[in-house]
Amino acid sequence: MDPSDSLSAMTRRKSTPPTLSEVARRAGVGTTTVSRVINGGHRVSPETLQRVQRAIEALGYVPNQAARILKGYRTRTVGLIIPSIADPFFSECAEAIQAVARANGSLLIVTTTNNDPRAEIDNINVLMEHRADGLIIAPANSNSQMLRQVVGTLAIPVVAIDRPIAQSSVPAVVANNYRGAAIATEHLIGHGYRKILCLTGESTLYTIRERIQGYCRTMEAMGLEPLLDTSVKDYRSAEYAIESFLSAANPPDAILTLKNSTTIFAFEALQKFKVAIPGSVALLGYDDFELASTVRPSISVVEQPIEEIARLAAEALFDQLLSEREGGHSRRNAQSAQITLETRLVPRSSCGCSPRLPEITST
């Protein structure tokens, strides 16, 4: 980068980017040679190599991916379709997946659906137009006929994350939602609670439905009656739900929430009405969150191995990508496998446990 170079760069500024042939002309070589230099510099004499590299630097040349892709190359781009970037669960997923993508030399394009199946299909189309090499999807609706069909016709590998695509051969990496809720319910029952209210949040999602199953079956197995409340969507509705149960004749002695935000809404509402936790009512949440161990009382939760879910999904995708490219034996046995990861109950104070370790164990 000598002065004359940066000067030429300044001059070129805001004009069309330089092309490979311009580099070739400047270096006094053929386009083929430049191409070879860009792609590793094999079979090029040292002097030529240096001359070309100088020309590339002088012009600030950057290869045009569009042209490369057009020649049938992989785009080195994978798509991630999630409900929301702002959701902590999915932003942690995105972070982990991006790490894997980068390690594989690929770019990650994240698009969001807000759990709208239409937006989901749109996003798939956009990513197909951009010729993503593969897709990772957290389906808005696991049973969507539309999604199943669209994904079925896709010519690229797809991996589902957090929520499988029912009746399809799409591999999925999910948490064991059923067991997660079952463990939580068992834990509460073990503490002696009998009237356990379950706040589900949105009950249309696959993950939530699985958890509801886990809760209900466990309750029934113990001869207890399941108590479901699907109305809590935000703080307001949580307040309303808590208020109404406080005035009940025979109020619940424990609350199980099935979703991170629901836990927080419920906790805030309980605080608002100064309900003693776990004295009057125990609280057990789903998904760990920062401060869960700091608030008073600290909140017990079911923790999902988010980073691992994301990483395994990404690795599954790149496995397919690699095997597709290298061997012809695409779609190997790991193909339609569904990987299910176990969750872990993190006992804190709100369920009645007095934790043995110092409570605050932040990173």
Q: How far apart are CA 48 and CA 55, in angstroms?
A: 11
Q: How far apart are CA 250 and CA 240, in angstroms?
A: 17
Q: What is the DSSP letter of 286?
A: E
Binding track, positions 237-256, relative to DNA; x by CB under 7 A: --------------------
Binding track, positions 36-55, relative to DNA; x by CB under 7 A: x-xx---xxx-xxx------
Q: Is 204 in the site for DNA (CB under 7 A)?
A: no
C-beta separation of 191 from 221 below 8 A: no
Helix, coil or strand: residue 169: coil
Q: How far apart are CA 238 and CA 57, in angstroms?
A: 60
C-beta separation of 180 from 287 below 8 A: no
Minimum Å distance from CB 138 to a copy of itself?
15
> How many C-alpha atoms does 225 have within 13 Å on its Cβ side?
3
Binding site for a copy of itself (CB under 8 A): 6, 9-10, 12-17, 60, 62-67, 69-70, 75, 77, 84-86, 88, 91-92, 94-95, 98, 107-112, 125-126, 128-131, 149, 152-155, 234-235, 264-265, 267-269, 271-272, 290-291, 293-296, 330, 358, 360, 362-363
Q: Is 75 in the site for DNA (CB under 7 A)?
A: no
Helix, coil or strand: residue 283: strand
Minimum Å distance from CB 332 to DNA?
25
| Residue number with CB closer to DNA (127 or 232) | 127
* Contacts for 261 with CB less than 8 Å, ≥ 6 apart: 201
Options 6, 7, 8, 30; binder of DNA; rule CB under 7 A: 30
Options 7, 28, 130, 234; binder of DNA; rule CB under 7 A: 28
C-beta separation of 58 from 26 below 8 A: yes
| Residue number with CB closer to a copy of itself (290 or 326) | 290
Options 6, 8, 64, 294; binder of DNA; rule CB under 7 A: 64
Helix, coil or strand: residue 259: coil
* Positions in the binding site for DNA (CB under 7 A): 16, 19-21, 28-33, 35-36, 38-39, 43-45, 47-49, 61, 63-64, 67-68, 70-73
